[in-house]
Amino acid sequence: MHLAHLRLREFRNYARLDADFSPGFHVLLGNNAQGKTNILEAIYLLATLRSFRGVGGAQMIRHGEKGYFIGANVVAADKHEIKLYWASRERKVTLDGQPVRKLTDFFGVFRAVVFCTEDLQLVKGTSRIRRRFLDLILAQTQPGYLPLLQRYASALRSRNSLLKRRIIDEAALESFSHELVAVGVRLIEARRALLPRLSPLARLAYRRVANDAEELRLEYQPSVQADFALELARSRDRERAARCTVVGPHRDDLALLLGDRSAAQFGSEGQKRTLAIALKMSQAEYLTGLLGSPPVLLIDDVMGELDAQRRAGLMPLLERAHHASGQVFMTCTGENWPRELSRQLQRWQVNAGTVVPLKAPA
């Protein structure tokens, strides 16, 4: 899978950009604040409709403009054209010229995994960030997952707003409980089934990247212990006191254990950083294994932070993406990309919202 053409209009610091990319490795070189990460952000939006920086659409519109546009040609088994337009009043997503009505139709078309400094939040941040990580992987691999997630969120919102009222409409509450449980058990089941597949990949990735004897283990920590309907009913007093739904997959967590201890509580900074990379590597490996071709890898500032040994641990993943006609985009401020890759790299100079190809190094 690769991104063959990228077109940006009024996106961040790009007034207009049109660039063609071959499969393989691409390094985006440039000083700080020139627009390297903005390119990765645009590519990631094409895959997930979300910014990995956790911001909303409005912030990505170029200052003083009304909307941004991102267009792309992607090549997988088939060729596809994706267009996103985002303005405060109007949002449009089209796939091959047709408006996308169901996100399910869209999510499988272009897959990307990002490695960025924000990944550290997977380890240090709240459970919401880890749930989102699992949900993204499931959405990227199972067509039915995203609609379930949306149904769950909607039932949860309705239920919570009822619980905030002074007088609670019991019949309405009951009907949302029913929906919440019906959908919730399917989310729990999908997350539970994912973990035994993801955990060994993450463990292997951690071992490759870390100079560290401790074993990484991922463990699903569901909010529901056995029977969602029963536990929801039993939480009645607690949820009325809290005025919101207190059990359910919206309270799940993913435990990250190094040598059976919580990495967030006991890990060193280096271990946490390595763990975050291992999680992303496991996501990429899982997608590759399941779908038969690697996702596009977006690597922002991560290479520069890693010492030679940790970088070497990441190499097999990059090499494999390369050999399978995949694609890797890396950003670097200096010429400090991994030397191991030098011969195969396509280099681009990013400068104040322009992107120009550089000749291969002699």
Q: Which residues bind Mg ion (CB under 5 A)?
A: 36-37
Provide the β-strand partners of residue 69: 9, 85
Select the binding partner of residue 191 from Mg ion, ligand ATP, none (C-beta < 5 to 8 A, by kind): none
Residue of closest CB approach to Mg ion: 37
Select the binding partner of residue 67 from ligand ATP, Mg ion, none (C-beta < 5 to 8 A, by kind): none
Say which residues have a Cβ less than 8 Å from residue 340's Cβ, sequence separation at least 6.
311, 312, 315
**In this structure, which amino acid lies at residue 226?**
A
- Minimum Å gap between C-beta 312 and ligand ATP is 24
**In this structure, which amino acid lies at residue 12?**
R
Nearer to Mg ion, 29 or 202 (CB): 29
Select the binding partner of residue 12 from Mg ion, ligand ATP, none (C-beta < 5 to 8 A, by kind): ligand ATP
Nearer to Mg ion, 37 or 283 (CB): 37
Residue 21 near residue 5, CB atoms below 8 Å: yes
Select the binding partner of residue 164 from Mg ion, ligand ATP, none (C-beta < 5 to 8 A, by kind): none
- Minimum Å gap between C-beta 217 and ligand ATP is 33
Q: Which of 296, 302, 307 is nearest to 37 (CA)?
A: 302
Q: Report the interface residues with ligand ATP, using CB under 6 A.
A: 12-13, 30, 32-38, 59-63, 331, 333, 350
Q: How far apart are CA 157 and CA 161, in angstroms?
A: 6
- Minimum Å gap between C-beta 159 and ligand ATP is 36
DSSP notation for 52-86: TT---GGGGBPTT-SEEEEEEEEESSSEEEEEEEE
Select the binding partner of residue 33 from ligand ATP, Mg ion, none (C-beta < 5 to 8 A, by kind): ligand ATP
Nearer to ligand ATP, 137 or 298 (CB): 298
- Minimum Å gap between C-beta 91 and ligand ATP is 17
Say which residues have a Cβ less than 8 Å from residue 141's Cβ, sequence separation at least 6.
286, 287, 290, 291
